[in-house]
Amino acid sequence: MAAPGFTGGTLDRADHLRHDADAFAAALGNWQSRLLKLDGFEPEVDDSGRLAWTMLSDAPDDAEFVLLGLDGGRARFAAVPPAGGPAPSFRSPTLFRLLDQLQPGEAATFATGRSLVDWHLRHRFCAQCGASTAIFRAGWGRKCGACNAEHFPRVDPVVIMLAEHDGRALVGRQPAFPKGRYSALAGFLEPGESIEEAVRREIGEEAGLPIGAVRYVASQPWPFPAQLMIACVAQAEHDRITLDANELEDAMWVTRDDVRAALAGEGPFLAPPPYAIAHTLLEAWSAGE
């Protein structure tokens, strides 16, 4: 099974620097440190198709810096724009074309930077008392100056799964998908749920299928803005679909041959792109893994 997209990061996350304010300040002042170039939330690439980096002095005035990690001992940062600036773009077709081109380790670095910048932009104020927060732990947290509450970047777990019955898998499409695209079903875990319970609930809600055994396949960080995709395969007790039209436009059962053809670009549906874990999940299932 191929590694899921946005995994395989090569940076040393350098946890020791998060607890050493002097070392963090020294890294900020080191001329060898580099800043990830982002156009809003989208990566910039150089002529070779790799992530582009620049000097820290090129960051906007009053920007906050987040330490992404070390590359060969040299610090790599992302910059959080100052408050009051233009809102960064969410995502665009250009972004997804770039994601198809980035190497796995590069995509992982971008995912880390994008998620952290987005989190900082949305957490300038304390959720406990409403006062302003300031960056600390080298950008891996924010601290309130009024009540001393500490806030840390969150990751939202999402189950993404194939229901399986009699050698076939269930795929569905949302109205927002490109024409012809089908993918695995997915949904956020809710408080008080296990992964298995969330898989059963989501398939039951969206496709009306009762589910028995659930097995884990793989996971993936998904930086839009900060999910952890948890891929599973679940055994359906029958194949009678009752579609929730509020969630899905259509759903259908497909064979392994159908999936293999779709992954090759020749099948009865348009497969998810390679950087999405739904692609990895379909690939693993079609191979019998």
CA distance 201 to 28: 47
Domains 15-151 and 156-286 share a fold: yes
Single-letter amino acid code for the residue at 58 = D
Say whether pLDDT at 150 is over 90. yes
Per-residue confidence (pLDDT) for residue 20, from 0 to 100: 95
Architecture field, domain 156-286: Alpha-Beta Complex (3.90)
Are 186 and 145 spatial neighbours (Cβ–Cβ below 8 Å)? Answer: no
Which residue is listed with tokens 């969330």?
198
Structure tokens at 269: 């549906």
Task: Give me the chain's average pLDDT, please.
Answer: 94
Per-residue confidence (pLDDT) for residue 102, from 0 to 100: 87
Summarised one tens digit per residue, pLDDT across range 12-27 is: 999 999 999 999 999 9
Say whether pLDDT at 84 is over 80. no
15-151 CATH pick, 3.40.50.150, 3.40.120.10, 3.90.79.20, 2.60.120.260: 3.90.79.20
Mean pLDDT computed over 39-62: 91
Mean pLDDT computed over 18-42: 94
Structure tokens at 172: 């569905």
Domain ranges of the chain: 15-151, 156-286
Q: CA nearest 239: which of 208, 267, 266, 217? A: 208
Are 264 and 287 spatial neighbours (Cβ–Cβ below 8 Å)? Answer: no
pLDDT band at 104 (very low <50, low <70, confident <90, very high): confident
Structure tokens at 286: 């079609």
In the chain the beta strands, taken as DSSP E runs, fall at 34-36, 38-39, 42-43, 53-54, 64-71, 74-80, 133-136, 141-144, 150-151, 156-165, 168-173, 185-188, 211-222, 227-236, 250-255
Q: What is the pTM of this model?
A: 0.94
Structure tokens at 253: 């059962």
Bridge-partner residues for 230, per DSSP? 159, 219
CA distance 272 to 184: 9
